[in-house]
Amino acid sequence: MPDEPVAALSDATRTYGGVPVLDAVSLAVEPGVTAVVGPNGSGKSTLIRVLVGATEPTAGEVRQPGGPGGKSIGYLPQRVPFRPGFTARETLAFYGRLVGDDPDAALERVGLGDAGDRRVEALSGGMRRLLGIAQAVLGDPALVALDEPASGLDPGMRERAFRAAAERADGDTAVVIASHALDLVDEHADRVAVLRRGGVAAAGPLDRLLDDHDAADARELYRVVAGEPGTRAGDEDEPPGDGDERGGEGDGEGDDAEPNVHVTGVSDR
């Protein structure tokens, strides 16, 4: 028996200036780790934002945990502007009070237990990504969506960030990760959705997709399905995101601009 989906998109379309970035996408998100991969501009960031409710679809439906208006969602955008002057512990304590979670436990979950008293501006880029993951999983949300959590990190920190995210997945929790880090997809993902030109070119359990496409690993699957060479380790640093998805992150245009801060259980819906 397949797991009951935690969230789902049904014929979800999102256009910017009349140009579709997501085009009639249907995707069921089940418990475990689902990796969303694809070339730059294929719709990965937009899919994540639509899935969590940060961006409304132009057409189609989105089913989220808890039904319409459900609050059990954690979201990490590519850039999280933590307020300077606060320590890592104080930052998580602010958000933790909203969802009833312990900031020290949250820091321990991502391996930042010894960094609680450091101000956020003094943290390395990798440690800030880990802090963002800790924020996204506060309150034990049913759906955690992370946009390029390993981007810009050295190999050791890439693995640490991806593992910290993947460890949150269980029989009741779905973790969705948009990523170019195909080696980490191989290691941690249960399911993969390959996007191409705004649509889902292939989706399902990773093992099944590898068999179906006679691919040895996620990199080869990407090449076969997306029609592009797979990225090498470290190539996930290349894109600033799917900013070419017309109205994507940081463009500041209308209600499609990325909100400044996303907090588990609190969104701009």
- The amino acid at residue 108 is E
Beta carbons within 10 angstroms of residue 7's beta carbon: 24
Q: Give one DSSP letter per residue of 110-177, joined into a string.
A: TT-GGGTTSBGGGS-HHHHHHHHHHHHTTT--SEEEEESTTTT--HHHHHHHHHHHHTT--SS-EEEE
pLDDT digits (tens, 9 = 90+) for 91-110: 999 989 988 899 999 999 88
Task: State the DSSP code for 265.
Answer: T
CB 7 within 8 A of CB 29: yes
In the predicted model, is pLDDT for residue 69 greater than 70?
A: no
Q: Give pTM, 2 decimals.
A: 0.82
pLDDT digits (tens, 9 = 90+) for 15-38: 998 899 999 999 999 999 999 999
Q: Residues 150, 153, 157, 159: is their CA dihedral positive or negative?
A: positive
SS3 state of residue 8:
strand
List the domains of the chain with CATH numbers: 7-72+144-256 (3.40.50.300), 79-140 (no CATH)
pLDDT digits (tens, 9 = 90+) for 120-161: 999 988 899 899 999 999 988 999 999 999 887 888 888 888
Amino acid 65: pLDDT: 87
Percent of the chain's residues with pLDDT above 70: 81
Amino acid 251: pLDDT: 34
